[in-house]
Amino acid sequence: MKERHLTDQSKIIDGKKISSLIKAEIKSETETFKSEKKITPGLAFIIVGNNPASKVYVKNKGKACEELGFYSVTETLSEDISEQELLEIIYRLNSDLNIHGILVQLPLPSHISEHKIIEAIDYKKDVDGFHPVNAGKLLIGDKCFLPCTPFGIVELLSRSNVETSGKNAVVLGRSNIVGKPVANLLLRKEINCTVTVCHSGTKNLPGICSQADILIAAIGKPEFVKKDFIKEGCVIIDVGINRIADKNSKTGYKITGDADFEDCFDKCGMITPVPGGVGPMTIAMLMKNTLQSAKGEIYG
């Protein structure tokens, strides 16, 4: 690895550190809320099948609940559960007064409609922000649950004092989980970016990226963004979590983002590392949404 000057460290947006700070804030707010209102924020996880990555994500989210003093339950369901059985579990959790947030870990097996399952969740408990009511409210700028990764991204920008108003933000990727919601969030008046969304049909992608003051990479292509794509001083938010072969690692692989960190480092203004950038923020914002739900701050 290339030697770096110490001052370069200031270019790294440390998601691990920022998410720890946010979690500490939530923990203290939760203690006060619990002692004043005698209500414990409650979060239900549903995991279907044996996807190893999903298992790790749900385990880490459960750990965060424990750390912050939340109540949590995990429904671990077999791969062949029917759509109807899964719907029944959601209906039960919708009416459970101890549960303020419901999270169905995606992806689901192909015989189950993700769309139908997400719509079945009470939008007032949709702490993932995936329900069409929350997605629509995000679009029109109403108060709603914000999807956790986009929420984490804007929190990273704000806590790193990145100026957003009037800046060109380019989003790579149009997924419902990251690309589309983060584009809508950056468009909001209080953030005020000029937003371009690029996708697999985009022509001249490097040309568009080179206009970006803020580049959000969420396309799932390892080390796709190179220094030739970016403008000097650009802030790179790397949402990618990709496994690539690495002979030097004990596990035989390493985790990389959608940006080539080493290649872009000198030219960019700031950059999130992978791991330790956006990833930890997603969990912190899930906890924030759940606490807000328990307090009735979004839907009363």
Residues near ligand GUN, by CB under 6 A: 103-106, 128, 148-149, 177, 282
Which amino acid, one-letter code, is at 292? Answer: Q
Bridge-based pairing of strands 235-238 and 194-198 is unpaired
Question: Known catalytic residues?
Answer: 61, 105, 128
Closest separation in Å from C-beta 15 to ligand GUN: 15
Q: Which of 148/268 has CB closer to ligand GUN?
A: 148
- How many Å apart are CA 263 and CA 226, to the nearest integer? 6
CA-nearest of 281, 230, 285, 300 to 259 is 230
- How many Å apart are CA 214 and CA 237, to the nearest integer? 8
Q: Which of 173/212 has CB closer to ligand GUN?
A: 173
Bridge partners, 77 (sequence order):
48
Cα 77 to Cα 48, 113, 117: the distances in Å are 5, 16, 14
Closest separation in Å from C-beta 49 to ligand GUN: 13
Q: Which of 177/217 has CB closer to ligand GUN?
A: 177
Q: Which of 128/238 has CB closer to ligand GUN?
A: 128
Closest separation in Å from C-beta 57 to ligand GUN: 7
Closest separation in Å from C-beta 147 to ligand GUN: 7
Closest separation in Å from C-beta 104 to ligand GUN: 6
Q: Determine the residue with CB nearest ligand GUN.
A: 106
CA-nearest of 221, 61, 253, 90 to 149 is 61
Q: Which of 120/177 has CB closer to ligand GUN?
A: 177
Helix residue spans in the chain (DSSP H): 15-37, 52-68, 83-94, 114-120, 132-140, 148-159, 179-187, 205-209, 261-265, 278-295
